[in-house]
Amino acid sequence: MCGIIGYVGPQDAGKVVISGLKRLEYRGYDSAGIALQNVQQPELLVVRTAGKVTELEIELDARQPLFSTGTAIGHTRWATHGEPTRENAHPHSSSSGNIVVAHNGIIDNYLVIKQLLQGQGIEFTSETDTEVIAHLIEHYYEGELSEAVGRALQQLEGTYGLMVMSALHPNMLVTARNGSPIVVGICDGETVIASDVSAVVSHTKQVIYLDDGDLLTTTSDGVSITSLRNLPVARDAIEIDWDIEAIEKGGFEHFMRKEIHEQPTALQNTLRGRLDFSSSSTKLSGMQMGPTKLADIDRIMVAACGTSLYAGMVGKHLFEDFTGIPTDILHAAEFRDHNPIVQRGTCMLAISQSGETADTLGAVRECLRKGAQVLGICNVVGSTIAREAGKGVYLHAGPEIGVASTKAFTSQVAVLAMMAILLGRSRRLSADSGQRMIDELSRLPELAQAVLDQEDEIAGIAAKYARAEHAFFLGRGYMYPAALEGALKLKELSYIHAEGYHAAELKHGPIALLTEQVPVIVIAPDSSGKSRTLANIQECKARKAPVIAIVTEGERDINGLVDDVISIPHCEEFIAAIPAVIAEQLFAYHIARERGCEIDQPRNLAKAVTVE
Ligand code: AGP
């Protein structure tokens, strides 16, 4: 997915857009571009580069003295069609050069339209789907820009969050949304439009989220929203509940390390007001489900991707242990590929930090179509999945800028635990058990802090294994998803090939890969399967593989058995994945740092994958 931003107002639009692109760069960063409007004469300056926004800034500075302007659009790209080159960077121009488009999404029928336009003599200069949009708008242009955009978009199939600017329409931007997020910052005398609030919040906290099918026309007089057929549309503004500092590094070297250390606070915010000690249960009003509706749920399905999927796997154990409700975990894409069975009593949980992941959004729409109860578990307020699900539970973990997800995972598990308590208390979970569980949840911030306090020791252990090229992470029960998450963190941050495996599974083949050069991280805190996992460690040591054990502090059965030990504080098994994964986050972070990797924006990745 990509980041797009547009500005209309009295400030130097080039500076506003470049600054906004830097805040959006975590969404995609393989090429970038900007278009500025010359208000003295009908002319656009378009500057595009392969590489990051800083390279674009250098090139713009060299060319911008040509004119300063109050209107501009910018784009930072995560390549889908065409390599990350200057020619494929956005914004893309129409043949006359009078119309430019910056786009986030995928146009499914672009090839058909491209061939039609080529048949009319239009020459294309890029491999992208987006360029088709610029030519199509020009094809329909008869003097009124919004109308030309609306007519062109009615021919498109696929997803877009896009912005259009024309040399012939000073101080005007036309923006449209279908499947890719667009947020509009409403300020006095100026408008900032972007893919997400991180590029808007420094200007205003009053924002409007466009819905699919909306067309926004912005001029120096303000904004108007219509449908593609020019019918008026009303959208309410909402107030952003965090400040610009939340997306600054705050003295940390990387956003990721900041967000790892924010977890005690993030967990406090996730839990705040939701532990109901009077009823030994939890309060999750966003679910909009009273006791009868809760009792009607006879099956849970979880749809998610990546780290969110692994949080959902912890949720499976929570729901089946504490509510007795059968729970299925599906890769979100499977909801479209394999037509899962969804019944009246099915409750689908869509877990997504960004709330914009295309595969998860597709699963939400599929389940809504089949009449299931759908709950969104998202971090970004007002995100597409949250709005289309219509109900659910926000993480309140604060913005997560580092592409590798950290505090979202631990807050997701905390939310799932609270949901399990709520659902359990509408079934067989006793008040005493409920009380014990919410007491344990209230300890989460201190448990997280206890692990963070060991960062130096964990960094020292990480340094020993920073040169490995392969690694395994093992766990069972609640710790199996933790093993998968630890492997994902190491993979995406350090580019080491790491595999998460069920501890019992290693001996069924993968153990053939163990050598003295293949470290094995084993997660074995006090838990039901610990003794069997310790036996698995013996199997690894018999093949001379170095073993790093993540165990409960004071564990004596591990002494002399492994090469390194990371201790996590005593806690109940149902929440042990949280301190264990925080230890894995620090382990992966320090290995990546030792290897000199680009930590906040690892190669090939993007923060939210809004393409299928
Ligand atoms: C996690 O570190 C990855 N960046 C990725 O797996 C991510 O969790 C996945 O793309 C899902 O994102 P979401 O939670 O925003 O839907």
Q: Which of 25-29, 213-217, 547-551 has the lowest mean pLDDT?
A: 25-29
- Distance from the alpha carbon of residue 399 to the mean position of ligand 1, in angstroms: 14
Catalytic (active site) residue 258:
no
Its sign, for the CA torsion 131, 136, 142, 147, is negative
Which ligand 1 atom sits nearest the alpha carbon of residue 305?
11
pLDDT per residue as tens digits for the range 111-154: 999 999 999 999 999 989 999 999 999 999 999 999 999 999 99
Among protein residues, the one with the nearest Cα to ligand 1's atom 9 is: 306
- Residue 596 in this model has a pLDDT that exceeds 70: yes
pLDDT score at 495: 97
Cβ atoms of 246 and 380 closer than 8 Å? no
- Residue 79 in this model has a pLDDT that exceeds 80: no
- 189 band by pLDDT with thresholds 50, 70 and 90: very high
pLDDT score at 158: 87
Of the ranges 376-385, 491-500, 525-534, the best mean pLDDT one = 491-500
pLDDT score at 200: 94
- 105 band by pLDDT with thresholds 50, 70 and 90: confident
Mean pLDDT within 334-341: 87
pLDDT score at 494: 97
Q: Which of 51-60, 245-254, 301-310, 510-519 has the lowest mean pLDDT?
A: 245-254
Among protein residues, the one with the nearest Cα to ligand 1's atom 3 is: 404
Mean pLDDT within 162-191: 94
Among protein residues, the one with the nearest Cα to ligand 1's atom 13 is: 352
- 80 band by pLDDT with thresholds 50, 70 and 90: low
In terms of Cα–Cα distance, which of 167, 84, 74 is closest to 126?
84
Q: In a 10 Å sphere around its CB, with 0-12 CB exposed, 13-18 middle and 19+ buried, how is residue 318 labelled?
A: buried
- Distance from the alpha carbon of residue 314 to the mean position of ligand 1, in angstroms: 16
- Residue 84 in this model has a pLDDT that exceeds 90: no
- Residue 157 in this model has a pLDDT that exceeds 70: yes
Using DSSP bridges, classify how beta strands 547-552 and 564-568 pair: parallel, antiparallel or unpaired: parallel
pLDDT score at 62: 87
- Bigger pLDDT: 85 or 149? 149
Neighbours of 460 (CB within 10 A): 12
Cβ of 404 less than 6 Å from ligand 1: yes
Which ligand 1 atom sits nearest the alpha carbon of residue 360?
16
- Residue 449 in this model has a pLDDT that exceeds 70: yes
Q: Is the link from the previous residue into 91 a cis peptide, with omega within 30 of 0?
A: yes
Cβ of 354 less than 6 Å from ligand 1: yes
pLDDT score at 375: 98
Instruction: Please state, in angstroms and rounded to a whole number, the distance separating the CA atoms of residues 427 and 311.
Output: 23
- Residue 381 in this model has a pLDDT that exceeds 90: no
pLDDT score at 340: 86
- Bigger pLDDT: 137 or 338? 137
- 75 band by pLDDT with thresholds 50, 70 and 90: very high
Percent of the chain whose predicted confidence (pLDDT) is above 90:
79
Cβ of 585 less than 6 Å from ligand 1: no
Residues facing residue 500 across a β-bridge? 473
Catalytic (active site) residue 2:
yes
Cβ of 352 less than 6 Å from ligand 1: yes
- Residue 46 in this model has a pLDDT that exceeds 90: yes
Of the ranges 27-41, 546-560, 597-611, the best mean pLDDT one = 546-560
Cβ atoms of 262 and 275 closer than 8 Å? no
- Distance from the alpha carbon of residue 110 to the mean position of ligand 1, in angstroms: 28
- Looking at 2, 347, 378, 571, which residue is catalytic? 2
Cβ of 493 less than 6 Å from ligand 1: no
Mean pLDDT in the chain?
93
Among protein residues, the one with the nearest Cα to ligand 1's atom 7 is: 306
pLDDT score at 66: 61
Cβ atoms of 577 and 479 closer than 8 Å? yes
pLDDT score at 1: 66
- 498 band by pLDDT with thresholds 50, 70 and 90: very high
- 77 band by pLDDT with thresholds 50, 70 and 90: confident
Mean pLDDT within 5-14: 94
pLDDT score at 175: 98
Mutate to test the pocket of ligand 1, among 310, 388, 609 (most ligand atoms within 8 A of CB): 609
Among protein residues, the one with the nearest Cα to ligand 1's atom 10 is: 306
- Looking at 316, 489, 491, 607, which residue is catalytic? 607
In terms of Cα–Cα distance, which of 169, 537, 197 is closest to 399?
197
Instruction: Please state, in angstroms and rounded to a whole number, the distance separating the CA atoms of residues 440 and 436.
Output: 6
pLDDT per residue as tens digits for the range 200-241: 999 999 999 999 999 999 999 999 999 999 999 999 999 988
In terms of Cα–Cα distance, which of 404, 406, 407, 382 is closest to 394?
382
pLDDT score at 83: 74
For tokens 């597409």, what's the residue?
Answer: 384
- 38 band by pLDDT with thresholds 50, 70 and 90: confident
Percent of the chain whose predicted confidence (pLDDT) is above 70:
99
- Residue 65 in this model has a pLDDT that exceeds 70: no
Cβ of 492 less than 6 Å from ligand 1: yes
Instruction: Please state, in angstroms and rounded to a whole number, the distance separating the CA atoms of residues 29 and 33.
Output: 11
Cβ atoms of 85 and 62 closer than 8 Å? no
Q: Which of 334-343, 459-468, 577-586 has the lowest mean pLDDT?
A: 334-343
- Residue 610 in this model has a pLDDT that exceeds 80: no
CA distances from 351 to 43, 127, 154 (A): 45, 34, 31
pLDDT score at 560: 87
pLDDT per residue as tens digits for the range 409-441: 999 999 999 999 999 999 999 999 999 999 999
